[in-house]
Amino acid sequence: MYDLTERQRCLLFALIEEHIASGQAVASSTLLEKGCFDISSATIRNELARLESIGLLEKQHTSSGRLPTVEALKLYAVDVAEHAQLEEREKEQINVALGDIRHGIEEILQRASEYLSDETEMMSLVVSPPESPGIVELIDLVPIGSQELVIIVVMRDGHVENENVNPGVDLHNLNMELLKHLLNSALKGRQIPNIDSSLLDGIFQRALANNIYHESIKKPIISFLDRLRKSHGEKIFSHGLKRLIENPEFIETKSLRAFLKARNEEAFVKNILTDLTIGHSGVRVLIGRDNVLEDLQDLAVVFTNFSLADESESGRIGVIGPARMPYARIIPLVDFIAEYLTKKLGGRIILR
């Protein structure tokens, strides 16, 4: 931990904010011109030299100004996380942009991801809390006329999934009751993730042996159950990977740009997720070597958790960008949107 005087801390943070705004190394004369410090230019130079000696500032060239190190950015980010807040006007804008609870949860999480990317011009990431695996209580097949079929799956917790399909066969010629009996006998009490293709194939082989179904009805039922199985777990909503690739900060960082271009958005997000461990409260900032993957060490990640009805299961929301990002804007923005999601979505944990 760095034992800084209040003056050193103020000078360091002023230099960081100037660097974030300009993208350039900052000279002592620039800080003096800002008029924020009632001290001499010699005192500023001496204090900056001290900050450089303890590893919080660095010089690229002998005659240039100074740049903040990763450690300095971390100190600044911690201070911002403790003190920065959004204006009431911005909070109201977020309330309007994300809509109200009448929208589905997936749509609200999608909106939150889009809003973060648009507002920050960086890559956003929203990860839903993982869902508990549903347990099948009942499967029903309800014909509507002779051609259309409604497939209904009722979970033990009362949640209902359904889908309308058109198998392309006259349903009046099929024994739906016996087919439902076979499906329920095999699937009732099973968790949705454990209903795999081999289990379903076995059910339909028995149905075919008893001549109680037409082959054309097998595909839509299996497809529907397979979608339910794949839909459980975390859902990822991300936007702005192209913005990250094209960020001017990375023009000279060829290895990072090559890494980003070689990966599609889903694969990149999964790599980022290895760093976003659940179990921390408040906004976290990962900069430089805090990121586990070597290729991501030119990046900064600002993220926090949000929870729905079950506080033991958390989602994550954040922004990914260069280490020189406007933390004073981004940290309170991420924090408030996470708070919004927790308050507005509490009690609703089904994401479909």
Please indicate, yes or no, whether residues 251 and 272 belong to a single structural domain of this protein: yes
Q: In the prediction, which pLDDT does 57 show?
A: 96
Determine the average pLDDT of the residues in 50-64.
Answer: 87
Please indicate, yes or no, whether residues 156 and 188 belong to a single structural domain of this protein: yes
Determine the average pLDDT of the residues in 204-229.
Answer: 79
Plot region of 238 (φ>0 → left; ψ -120 to 50 → alpha; else → beta)? beta
Given a cut of 50, whether residue 347 has pLDDT beyond it is no
| pLDDT tens track for 227-269 | 888 766 677 888 998 888 888 777 666 666 666 666 666 666 6
Structural domain boundaries enclosing 315: 85-131+234-345
Determine the average pLDDT of the residues in 17-41.
Answer: 87
CA–CA distances in Å: residue 154 to residues 74, 118, 306: 49, 39, 28
Please indicate, yes or no, whether residues 36 and 127 belong to a single structural domain of this protein: no
164 beta partners: 150
| pLDDT tens track for 304-337 | 988 865 555 678 899 999 899 999 999 999 999 9
Query: 152 by DSSP, 3-state: which?
Result: strand
Please indicate, yes or no, whether residues 195 and 295 belong to a single structural domain of this protein: no
Please indicate, yes or no, whether residues 104 and 220 belong to a single structural domain of this protein: no
Please indicate, yes or no, whether residues 97 and 58 belong to a single structural domain of this protein: no
Q: Is residue 338 part of a domain?
A: yes
Q: In the prediction, which pLDDT does 344 show?
A: 80
Please indicate, yes or no, whether residues 92 and 207 belong to a single structural domain of this protein: no
Determine the average pLDDT of the residues in 119-128.
Answer: 91
Q: Is residue 350 part of a domain?
A: no
Q: Is residue 259 part of a domain?
A: yes
Please indicate, yes or no, whether residues 180 and 253 belong to a single structural domain of this protein: no
Confidence of residue 108 (pLDDT cuts 50, 70, 90): confident
Please indicate, yes or no, whether residues 243 and 341 belong to a single structural domain of this protein: yes
Which of 15, 37, 68 lies at the terminal end of a domain, its last residue?
68
Given a cut of 90, whether residue 138 has pLDDT beyond it is yes
**For residues 67 and 60, what is the distance between their CA atoms, to the nearest angstrom?**
8
Q: Is residue 125 part of a domain?
A: yes
| Percent of residues, the chain, with pLDDT higher than 70 | 80
Given a cut of 80, whether residue 281 has pLDDT beyond it is no
Q: Is residue 154 part of a domain?
A: yes
Q: Is residue 140 part of a domain?
A: yes
Please indicate, yes or no, whether residues 190 and 43 belong to a single structural domain of this protein: no
Please indicate, yes or no, whether residues 171 and 220 belong to a single structural domain of this protein: yes
Q: In the prediction, which pLDDT does 68 show?
A: 95
Q: Is residue 101 part of a domain?
A: yes
> Which helix (DSSP H) or strand (DSSP E) does residue 296 occupy?
none
Query: Contact 328/17 with Cβ under 8 angstroms?
Result: yes
The total of other beta-carbon atoms located within 10 Å of residue 238's CB is 20
Please indicate, yes or no, whether residues 225 and 323 belong to a single structural domain of this protein: no
pTM of the model: 0.71
Which of 231, 257, 285 lies at the terminal end of a domain, its last residue?
231
The structure tokens 């410090």 sit at 37
Determine the average pLDDT of the residues in 206-210.
Answer: 77
**For residues 287 and 296, what is the distance between their CA atoms, to the nearest angstrom?**
9
Query: Residue 188: which CATH number?
Result: 3.30.390.60
* Residue 275 CB contacts under 8 Å (≥ 6 apart), including other chains: 286, 290, 291, 292, 293, 296, 301
Query: Residue 341: which CATH number?
Result: 3.30.450.40
Q: In the prediction, which pLDDT does 131 show?
A: 67
* Residue 4 CB contacts under 8 Å (≥ 6 apart), including other chains: 12, 51
